[in-house]
């Protein structure tokens, strides 16, 4: 992560607009809330991290216009991340709803994960994200995982940062009560826990635990589905999925695997508008 110090003679202009948006949500107070701050000029990374800690949501997004595109960065309360789905969806929603971009024009972002695009699809927003690599984990620590999740995994795979843990059925995923202290001691950044759908009517269900980043459980995680899409494509023999992230708030995602890209479709709504004064 970049590190910067404040320079008193070049302060951030105030106030700055900030919105809280529920992403992958069909109604208020569901899905995953993200704070979105629209910047007028580049900001120090240290300041952005402090704002994210103050917001204390799973992600705070910072937007800066660069020509016809927008620089986009995402911060948890503890660290900057390379890819975030729900805060990208929230950012696109803010650009259109606050008049920064015409609704018929795609939102194009420059990010640590390369170029990303968001487009309006009726009442929903479609994100074009990179497929994330996934492979079986050699010598998975099954005893440690069982102690952390309090259920024994069926299989364990790894992405570039996280582990994907397959459980026997969706009920096990829904009823998980992890030991977050033990989860934070594992070698992976976080755990994407998943199972095939059944009674819920979804193709698969999942939950995401990442206490190392200050988020015991992320309510709805778009980036996790960039690995879950190829994972379930191999098992279900299909490329299009309807997925449920079974957190307390819950969220529905339409997911489509297209070669080296993953399309994510969801809704967003603003629940708060305010100003950042410092």
Residues carrying an active site annotation: 59
Angle at 184 between CA 162 and CA 241, to 5 degrees: 35
DSSP at 212? G
Residue 33's Cα: distance from chain center in Å? 10
For residue 171, the surrounding DSSP H or E stretch is helix 170-175
Q: Which two tokens stand for residue 240?
A: 């299009």
Q: Alpha-carbon distance 229 to 258, whole Å? A: 10
List of long-range contacts for 67-74, beta carbons under 8 Å, 24+ apart: 68/108, 69/108, 69/109, 69/110, 69/115, 70/95, 70/107, 70/108, 70/109, 70/110, 71/109, 71/110, 71/111, 72/109, 72/110, 72/111, 72/116, 73/45, 73/48, 73/111, 73/112
Q: With contact defined as beta carbons under 8 Å apart, do 3 and 246 qualify?
A: no
Q: How far apart are CA 108 and CA 165, in angstroms?
A: 33
The two three-digit tokens of residue 150, written as one number? 């309090």
For residue 66, the surrounding DSSP H or E stretch is strand 59-66
Query: Which residues share a beta bridge with 130?
Result: 261
Pairing state between β 135-136 and 124-130: unpaired
């Amino acid at each position: 992560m970049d590190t910067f110090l404040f320079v008193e003679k070049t302060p951030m202009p105030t106030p700055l607009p900030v919105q809280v948006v529920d992403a992958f949500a069909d109604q208020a107070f569901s899905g995953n809330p993200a704070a979105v701050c629209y910047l007028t000029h580049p900001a120090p990374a240290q300041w952005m991290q402090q704002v994210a800690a103050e917001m204390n949501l799973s992600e705070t997004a910072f937007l800066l216009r660069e020509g016809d595109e927008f620089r986009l960065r995402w911060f948890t309360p503890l660290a900057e991340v390379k890819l975030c789905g729900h805060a990208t969806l929230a950012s696109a929603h803010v650009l259109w709803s606050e008049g920064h971009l015409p609704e018929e024009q795609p939102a194009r972002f420059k990010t640590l994960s390369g170029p990303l695009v968001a487009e309006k699809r009726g009442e929903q927003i479609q994100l074009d994200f990179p497929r994330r690599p996934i492979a079986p984990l050699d010598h998975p620590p099954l005893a440690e995982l069982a102690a952390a999740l309090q259920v024994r995994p069926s299989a364990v795979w790894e992405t570039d940062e996280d582990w994907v843990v397959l459980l026997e059925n969706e009920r096990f995923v829904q009823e998980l009560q992890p030991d977050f202290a033990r989860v934070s001691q594992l070698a992976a950044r976080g755990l994407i826990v998943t199972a095939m759908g059944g009674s819920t009517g979804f193709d698969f269900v999942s939950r995401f635990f990442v206490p190392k980043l200050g988020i015991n459980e992320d309510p709805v995680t778009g980036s996790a589905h960039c690995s879950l899409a190829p994972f379930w494509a191999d098992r279900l023999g299909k490329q299009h999925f309807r997925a449920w992230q079974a957190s307390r708030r819950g969220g529905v995602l339409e997911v489509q695997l297209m070669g080296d890209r993953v399309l994510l479709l969801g809704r967003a709504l603003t629940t708060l508008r305010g100003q950042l004064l410092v």
